[in-house]
Homo-oligomer: A and B are copies of this chain.
Amino acid sequence: MNSTIETILSHRSVRAFENKPLSKKTVDTLIQCAQQASTSSYIQAYSIIGVTNPDKKKALAELAGPQSYVEENGHFFVFCADLKRHEYIGKREETNVIPSLESTEKFMVALIDASLAAQNMAIAAESLGYGICYIGGIRNNLEKASELLQTPDRVLPLFGLCVGLPTKDTEKKPRLPLHHIYHENTYNNNEEVIEGELREFDEIVSAYYAKRTNGKRNQRWSDQMASMLKDPKRSYMKEFVKGKGFDVR
Mark A1-18 against chain B: 1 for CB-CB distance below 8 A, else 0: 111110111110100000
In the complex where A37-B119, A84-B189, A111-B112 touch, is A237 in contact with B105 (Cβ < 8 A)? yes
Q: Cβ of A228: which chain B residues have Cβ within 8 Å of it?
A: 41, 43
Q: Cβ of A48: which chain B residues have Cβ within 8 Å of it?
A: 181-183
Which residue of chain B has the shortest Cβ distance to A235 in the bound complex?
A: B103
- A65: CB under 8 A from chain B? no
> What CA separation (Å) do A99 and B199 show in the bound complex?
25
The answer to whether B47 and A183 have CB atoms under 8 Å apart is yes
The answer to whether A221 and B92 have CB atoms under 8 Å apart is no
- A167: CB under 8 A from chain B? no
**Closest beta carbon of chain B to A155's beta carbon, Å:** 6
The answer to whether B185 and A92 have CB atoms under 8 Å apart is no
In the complex where A89-B226, A247-B247 touch, is A182 in contact with B47 (Cβ < 8 A)? yes
Mark A114-141 against chain B: 1 for CB-CB distance below 8 A, else 0: 0110111011100110001110100100
**Closest beta carbon of chain B to A139's beta carbon, Å:** 7
* Identical subunits present: 2
The answer to whether B128 and A2 have CB atoms under 8 Å apart is yes
> What CA separation (Å) do A128 and B6 show in the bound complex?
12
Q: Cβ of A53: which chain B residues have Cβ within 8 Å of it?
A: 185
Q: Cβ of A46: which chain B residues have Cβ within 8 Å of it?
A: 181
Which residue of chain B has the shortest Cβ distance to A178 in the bound complex?
A: B31
Q: Which of A69-99 contact B (CB under 8 A)?
A: 80, 82, 84-86, 88-90, 92-93, 95-97, 99
The answer to whether A139 and B195 have CB atoms under 8 Å apart is no
**Closest beta carbon of chain B to A52's beta carbon, Å:** 6
The answer to whether B4 and A43 have CB atoms under 8 Å apart is no
Which residue of chain B has the shortest Cβ distance to A123 in the bound complex?
A: B123
Q: Cβ of A3: which chain B residues have Cβ within 8 Å of it?
A: 2-4
The answer to whether B182 and A50 have CB atoms under 8 Å apart is yes
The answer to whether A155 and B115 have CB atoms under 8 Å apart is no
Q: Cβ of A151: which chain B residues have Cβ within 8 Å of it?
A: 187, 189
The answer to whether A152 and B40 have CB atoms under 8 Å apart is no
